[in-house]
A = this chain, B = another copy of it.
Amino acid sequence: MSKEVQDKAQNTAQEKDWYEDLVLRSGLAEHSGVKGCMIIKPYGFAIWENMKSVLDARFKATGHVNASFPLFIPKSLLSREASHVEGFAKECAVVTHYRLINDPEGNGVIVDPTAKLAEELIVRPTSETIIWNTYKRWIQSYRDLPILINQWANVVRWEMRTRLFLRTAEFHWQEGHTAHATAQEAIAEARLMLDEYAAFMENYMAIPVIKGYKTESERFAGADDTYTCEGLMKDGKALQMGTSHFLGQNFAKAFDVKFLSKEGVEDFAWATSWGVSTRLMGALIMAHADENGLIIPPKLAPTQVVIVPLINKQTKERQDDFDAAIDKVKSELQGLSFLYDDDDTKRSGFKFAEYELRGIPLRITVGLRDIDNGVVEIARRDTMQKMSVPFDNLGETVRNLLTDIQNNLYNTALKFREENTTKADTFDEFKEVLNTKGGFIYAHWDGTKETEAAIKEQTKATTRCIPMDNPMEEGKCIYSGKPSKQRILFAKAY
């Protein structure tokens, strides 16, 4: 590794805070030494796999199919849609050569200057351009529509300041790209996928979200409209957790994708795109973690229950009784994902702390005295509450507890959001809230880019969205004092 790359890795490590510290200590991910690229460790990846699996099933249930498009996009293709390339140009990783050689002057391995590409290739920051260049070949008639395709992929957006999961140069995501015969149908698709995202975030991740429209200046580069799910993290900052875009005919026009309608009229196809990424891992951590570590919602936990036997001299003397009790516990947990940890090189207290750190929803402790009493001890990770539970119907008890934890996490997050949502009527109030409690702020805005930019510059808070179920209310813009018809959602955000 070059000195420079090492130094950068070092600096990043020094900047770590409670969040990064937690991600590192709980074994979810770490920095790789390659600027902005992280290593997702097995425990982190197992959670991401669970997320993928639920989302993928929902995409398929709503009629989508998976496919795979190239990692590289020729520069000329990326440049075809003007606002799109403008949005991504600043963060493009560019492949310019295709060979290494041994330096004839003895400086080791160098890039072969004769192996220069005629046209540079961009490592995809998102795939609208390469996909619509393909759809041009696939779409001629209304019979070819809709096209409902999703891709699970890695993408690269060069970032100067990175943060594990939340902002990385390379990240994993899914990107849906659909083509439709009418604007109406495309809008319905974009809304449907936003609803799917929100349902996933609330029902699986246990994070309540505000669904809304992005303002024009916060829209995806190339979109006519961007819908978003905004979550509130425990540090009072907002996180954009997923977006769905109505792209109008912008990409169809840029790539000349026309179809003949049922009525024989030629028109450009209508598009959507929508994506969620490994950033959701960051949300999962930041929405639930406490001073003891992660709390993983049971529906996404790779290990839902850990069984820790309390092994000592007595248990060894009555090994058969003990083994029978353990077997009974295991058989009650069939169908759940559980881990039996009988590693006798580690103390129980150490194990307890470790599994708490990793956010395993339930811990079952099995000791000889409890066995004789026909019970086991169960500890909930969310409330840290311990309880003595009979062997009888243990499986049902555990299942009920897991459901309860899932619900409790959601309700706790919802309560936190409610407590950290404020209405501000003046700019002073607005700033005061930001400086004290943070969180979501509903405030009137005059609808202009200028006001939006000024508020952002002076407070670092941004417009998160215009909520979809927003009540109409007469008011005055907190910044300009001009009339406004509704409050919109502001916050400092990741």
A interface residues, Cβ below 8 angstroms from B: 1-2, 4-5, 30, 32-34, 37-42, 44-46, 49, 65-79, 85, 89-102, 108-109, 111, 118-123, 130, 133-134, 137, 149, 153-154, 156, 158, 170, 172
Question: Which of B40, B70, B109, B111 is in CB contact (< 8 Å) with A85?
Answer: B109
Copy number in this complex? 2
Nearest first, the 4 closest Cβ-Cβ pairs linking A and B are A37-B70, A42-B65, A89-B100, A40-B68
Is A75 a contact of B122 with CB atoms below 8 Å?
Answer: no
Q: A1-B76, A70-B34, A109-B75 are in contact. Are A149 and B42 (CB under 8 A)?
A: yes
Smallest distance from the beta carbon of A268 to chain B beta carbons, Å? 19
Is B96 a contact of A91 with CB atoms below 8 Å?
Answer: no
Smallest distance from the beta carbon of A32 to chain B beta carbons, Å? 5
Question: Which of B4, B74, B100 is in CB contact (< 8 Å) with A5?
Answer: B74
Residues from chain B with a CB closer than 8 A to the CB of A2 are 74, 76, 118-119
Residues from chain B with a CB closer than 8 A to the CB of A121 are 34, 93
Is A4 a contact of B109 with CB atoms below 8 Å?
Answer: no
Q: How far is the CA of A134 from the CA of B41 in the complex (A)?
A: 11
Residues from chain B with a CB closer than 8 A to the CB of A149 are 42
A-B contact pairs, 11 of them (CB 8 A): A1-B77, A32-B130, A33-B74, A38-B70, A40-B67, A42-B65, A71-B123, A71-B170, A78-B100, A78-B109, A89-B99
Residues from chain B with a CB closer than 8 A to the CB of A99 are 89-92, 94, 158
Residues from chain B with a CB closer than 8 A to the CB of A100 are 75, 78, 85, 89-90, 92, 94, 122
Residues from chain B with a CB closer than 8 A to the CB of A74 are 1-2, 5, 33-34
Residues from chain B with a CB closer than 8 A to the CB of A34 are 70, 72-74, 121, 130
Smallest distance from the beta carbon of A33 to chain B beta carbons, Å? 7
Given contacts A96-B96, A111-B120, 16 further A-B contacts (CB under 8 A): A1-B76, A30-B134, A32-B130, A33-B74, A34-B70, A42-B66, A45-B67, A46-B65, A49-B66, A70-B170, A78-B100, A85-B100, A94-B100, A94-B111, A95-B96, A97-B120
